Amino acid sequence: MIKRLFFILALVASAAASPAAAEKISLNAISQYLNGFQTAQGDFTQVNGDGTISTGRIYINRPGRVRFEYNAPDESLVIAGGGQVAIFDAKSNAGPTQYPLNQTPLNLILKRNVNLAQARMVVAHDTDGKTTSVVAQDPDHPDYGTIRLVFTPDPTELRQWIITDGGGVQTTVILGELQKGMRLGAGLFDIRREIDNRK
């Protein structure tokens, strides 16, 4: 499992590589990129805090909506919609675990208007010559955790994020190529509908 993890991270680093060192992408450019699309979908690989790896499909409908469909053998589901995040455990007959979206770092990039230049939101902004990383937090609630966003330039593209929750546990999501601008049905992000379908 550890070898698989290093292999996947090596592939991401290789894919992000560019022939020459790139300039750091500005906060304004990153904000414009995030505000420049409403819908997106693509494949993802998730590295969990315990080192396990999951894969699946992500659907984004800004503002405030995202859906993570996990592949077998996991087959769990995470939906954000209506101001809530719901985690459906495929192995449980109980209802989903729910909590407010605005208490998660992911909320920072799902807002209607992302402004990373807001005071005290960005706590780190750097580049390794190939990618630009931004670490953001809710300036009013830093205890909710942080999200590290990793972008490649020319054109700017989001490649991965790392969420560190209030307890220090990290979850990394590595994105495949995101397709943008398609129509995504409201039902994909309807938590109540998903609960009813599973009864």
- 179 domain-assigned: yes
Residue 1 confidence (pLDDT) above 90:
no
Predicted confidence band at 172 (pLDDT cuts at 50, 70, 90)?
A: very high
Residue 37 confidence (pLDDT) above 90:
yes
Which CATH number goes with the domain that contains 167? Answer: 2.50.20.10
Residue 17 confidence (pLDDT) above 80:
no
Residues 151 and 161: their CA atoms lie apart, in Å, by 9
- 18 domain-assigned: no
Q: What is the pTM of this model?
A: 0.86
Q: What residue numbers bound the domain in which 67 lies?
A: 2-10+23-192
Structural domain count, the chain: 1
Burial class (CB in 10 A: 0-12, 13-18, 19+), 135: middle
- 75 domain-assigned: yes
- 166 domain-assigned: yes
Q: Give the model confidence (pLDDT) of 86-96 as tens digits.
A: 999 877 777 89
Provide, rounded to the nearest whole percent, the portion of the chain with pLDDT above 70: 89
- 158 domain-assigned: yes
What's the pLDDT at 197?
87
Section 100-127 average pLDDT: 93
Residues 77 and 67 sit within 8 Å (Cβ to Cβ): yes
What's the pLDDT at 11?
44
- 197 domain-assigned: no
Residue 181 confidence (pLDDT) above 50:
yes
Which stretch of DSSP H or E encloses residue 35?
A: helix 27-35
What's the pLDDT at 118?
87
- Lowest mean pLDDT of 91-95, 111-115, 164-168, name the range: 91-95
The label of the residue with tokens 């993802």 reads: 44
Residues 5 and 53 sit within 8 Å (Cβ to Cβ): yes
Taking Cα atoms as reference points, which of 147, 152, 115 lies closest to residue 130? Answer: 152
- 64 domain-assigned: yes
Section 60-83 average pLDDT: 94
Residues 179 and 177: their CA atoms lie apart, in Å, by 6
- 92 domain-assigned: yes
99 vs 3, higher pLDDT? 99
Burial class (CB in 10 A: 0-12, 13-18, 19+), 165: middle
Q: Give the model confidence (pLDDT) of 77-86 as tens digits.
A: 999 999 999 9
In angstroms, how far is the first alpha carbon of the chain from the final one?
35
What's the pLDDT at 128?
95
Residues 41 and 175 sit within 8 Å (Cβ to Cβ): no
Residues 7 and 14 sit within 8 Å (Cβ to Cβ): no
| Cβ-defined contacts of 75-80 (< 8 Å, 24+) | 77/194, 79/188, 79/189, 79/190, 79/191, 79/194, 80/106, 80/110, 80/189
The label of the residue with tokens 């894969």 reads: 55
